[in-house]
Amino acid sequence: MVVLSLLFLVAAVFLRGDPSAPGDTTPSGADSTSSSTTDPEDTTTLPGDTTSTTEGGGSGLAPLQEVALETVYTGINQPIGLTAPVGDDRLFIVQRSGFVRVLDANRQLLGTPFLDLTGKVLAGGIEQGLLGLAFHPDYATNGRFFAYFTVPGGSRRLAEFRVSAGDPNVALATTEKVIFEFVQPPNSTDIRHYGGQLAFDPEGYLWIASGDGADSRAQGQDPNTPYGTVMRIDVDSGDPYSIPEDNPFATTGGKAEVWAYGLRNPWRFSFDPVDRNLYIGDVGHNTREEINVVPLDEGGGYNFGWSDMEGDRCFHLSGCDPSKYTSPVIVYLHQDFDREYGSVTAGYVYRGAEIPELHGVYFYADWVQGFIRSFRYANGAATDERDWTEDLEMPAGTQITSFGLDGHGELYVLTWAGEVLKFSAVR
Ligand SMILES: [Ca+2]
């Protein structure tokens, strides 16, 4: 696998910008599942959790000249998610329309979708559809994975599926087991703000991001609803799930599934398994975008402010007291850009093996502005802020839908135009 990774790195350096390149010269037909390194005894391993934290120098790599975005694939319609089982060499691309497609270990797009949910998914507007996908930490042995999507009628559904016994590149929609489903809040008048992110935390619990449903602004401040929250459930006990006993509202004070609330539309969130922090991007209303960072180990129950506040300003509640809410660590204003709108696309802390110089750096982007920025989180604040847009040659206004991690913790970014781009080291 190390050799394979190096081959890809070489391809990235020499073939950058040629979307069909990384695989053209590589024999096809390799068994894309044969190199899985998942330890079935370890339920807590996340991509990026197992690599050295050496800050370069000791890694044996040549000096880093620059970080570039390698074009892995182009022309896949509206990709909104990228993930893979831990240790797996394939990439699973989530399309809003309801397909999950496989780029095999040679980065060839398989003709048959891994999963076709188009018969179940309602993908209206720009915010409905298949919105999130997460593989169980023990996927290599149990074949379980989870999807979050909107269904006809406008409800949002979390469901479990299983890979086919005979084909590791195909899962059937008929294996669906609904975990939960809930309608839009009663005062919602718009088909927006569903959230979307699914991810397993280092303890093996499944987290779900759920937006406020739009035009339903009271919901964000009520932890007794699923709206405007991130939720945390145990899909390894109970039927169809149980509540982790250390959830902040497990017994009182709010809905038992809710881990944090006061969110508007938490489209994407991620965990840093090394520093054990949760990073949430909350899409703002009409002036501000924000990134929130909170520790996983201090009990949860955070109130991120919406809709009393938008970012760092009072919104519905005039004369609000910001100290009553968990403040964002990053706020940026729509008015600071030529395009006077914004929509934050939260990313990941880089913990991959190929660019150890970036360990601990958190990347995020904006769907309207097309920028890619980063910071390091230290002592409760964003430090070492940097704008990468020019260095990464990201055209202004590129609609960045999501970041994603592969099975080895390497970082990718997806665009509405159909690009799959990988953060790559040029050495
Ligand atoms: Ca907030």
Residue 209: both structure tokens together: 């991001």
Residue 418 has pLDDT above 80, yes or no: yes
CATH of the domain at 259: 2.120.10.30
Contact 422, 69 (CB under 8 A): yes
Question: Does position 9 have pLDDT exceeding 70, yes or no?
Answer: no
CA proximity to 107, closest of 65, 76, 150: 76
Pairwise CA distance, residues 355 & 339, whole Å: 32
pLDDT attached to residue 35: 37
CA of 199 from ligand 1 middle (Å) equals 21
Q: How does residue 45 score in pLDDT terms, banded at 50, 70 and 90? A: low
From residue 112, alpha-carbon distances to 20, 264, 351, 366 in Å are: 19, 36, 31, 32
> What average pLDDT does the chain have?
88
Tokens describing residue 271: 């965990």
Query: Ligand 1 mean position to 280 CA, how many Å?
Result: 10
Q: Which of 16-25, 102-111, 253-262, 405-414 has the lowest mean pLDDT?
A: 16-25
Model confidence pLDDT, tens digit, residues 202-229: 999 999 999 999 876 778 999 999 999 9
- Provide the sign of the torsion angle of the four alpha carbons 194, 198, 203, 204, taken in this order: positive
| 7 pLDDT more than 90 | no
pLDDT of 286 above 80: yes
CB atoms within 10 A of CB 204: 18
Tell me what pLDDT residue 186 has: 81
Q: What percent of the chain has pLDDT over 70?
A: 85
Asked whether 264 and 271 are in contact (CB, 8 A), the reply is: no
Rounded distance from Cα 2 to ligand 1 centre (Å): 42
Give residue 261 CA to ligand 1 midpoint distance, Å.
9
Kindly state the average pLDDT of the residues 22-31: 32
Is the Cβ–Cβ distance between 202 and 174 less than 8 Å? Answer: no
Neighbours of 266 (CB within 10 A): 28
Distance (Å, whole) CA 156 – CA 131: 10
Query: Measured in angstroms, how far is the CA atom of residue 325 from the centroid of ligand 1?
Result: 8
CB neighbours (10 Å) of residue 399? 18
pLDDT over threshold 60, residue 14: no
- Annotate 373-393 with b (16+ C-beta within 10 A) or e (fewer): bbbbbeeeebeeeeebbeebe
**How much is the pLDDT for 188?**
83
C-alpha 93/C-alpha 79 separation (Å) is 6
Report the separation in Å between the CA atom of 86 and the middle of ligand 1, taken as the mean of its atom positions: 32
Confidence of residue 26 (pLDDT cuts 50, 70, 90): very low
Q: Helix, strand, or coil here: 138? A: coil
- CA 118 to ligand 1 centroid distance, Å: 33
User: Higher model confidence: residue 87 or residue 52?
Assistant: 87
Buried residues in 173-202 as b, exposed as e (16+ CB within 10 A): bebbeebeeeebbeebeebbbbbbbbbbbb
**Mean pLDDT of the region 97-109:** 98
Distance CA 4, CA 1 (A): 5
Mean pLDDT of the 124-129 span = 95
- Number of alpha carbons in the 13 Å side-chain half-sphere of residue 153: 9
Of 37-51, 161-175, 248-262, 387-401, give the lowest mean pLDDT range.
Answer: 37-51
Number of domains in the chain: 1
Between the CA of 119 and the centroid of ligand 1 the distance, in Å, is: 35
Helices (H), 198-348: none
Distance 81 CA to ligand 1 centre (A): 24
Which structural domain, as residue segments, surrounds residue 178?
Answer: 2-426
| Average pLDDT of the segment spanning 105-132 | 97
Residue 287 CA to ligand 1 centre (angstroms): 12
The pLDDT of residue 339 is: 79
Give the mean model confidence (pLDDT) for residues 139-168. Answer: 97
* Ramachandran area for residue 127 (φ above 0: left; ψ -120 to 50: alpha; else beta): alpha
Percent of the chain with pLDDT over 90: 81
